[in-house]
Amino acid sequence: MTRLIFLGPPGAGKGTQAQKIAAEGGVPHISTGDILRAAVAEGTDLGKKAEQYMSAGELVPDNLILDLIKERLGQEDAQGGWVLDGFPRNVPQAEFLGQLLDQIQQPADFVVNLDVNDEVIVARLLKRGRADDEELVIRHRLEVYRQQTEPLIDFYRSRQQLVSVDGNQPMEAVYTALQQVIAG
């Protein structure tokens, strides 16, 4: 049974690695972006509320994201494990998630931090060539990430749940390191 939370800056490879680990473990890869899009597409009550914020170009509030996560973790396919990617994004969300996981008796096995230095991230994201991947924008996103997520790293480290993996390596080497972490 695999229950992992992935942390890491934009461009660290969280999504790619989380999908591979989830597929290998036969558990769902749960990304907040995917949850939001699915809830909106399905027209659920939470999806309709989220859509109001998204269509106005606003961030979906924490309480709504938390409700969506709770709903998703309660689904049948998540009972045997899951890989969370992109959530939590701040300490209050992490505290809520911890309470939720205790409540539904699905504690996380590890919180994996993909540790990648800024220059590697900037180079990776510039190669991607997306419209919003300009160097100044990337550096700003990294700054915001560091402000919000550094406290999360300390939060999980203090609870002896954090495992850091060197994300500066080639994709396959990172995946091998992740497999070793999971195998114990």
Average pLDDT value for the chain: 91
The larger pLDDT score, comparing residue 4 to residue 33, is at: 4
| Confidence bin at 12 (pLDDT 50/70/90) | very high
Predicted confidence (pLDDT) per residue in 124-179, tens digit: 999 987 777 889 989 988 998 898 888 999 999 999 999 999 999 999 999 999 99
Burial class (CB in 10 A: 0-12, 13-18, 19+), 4: buried
Query: Position 82: which residue type?
Result: W
CA–CA distance from 53 to each of 13, 68, 87, 131 (Å)? 27, 14, 18, 23
Question: From CA 165, how far away is CA 114, in angstroms rounded?
Answer: 5
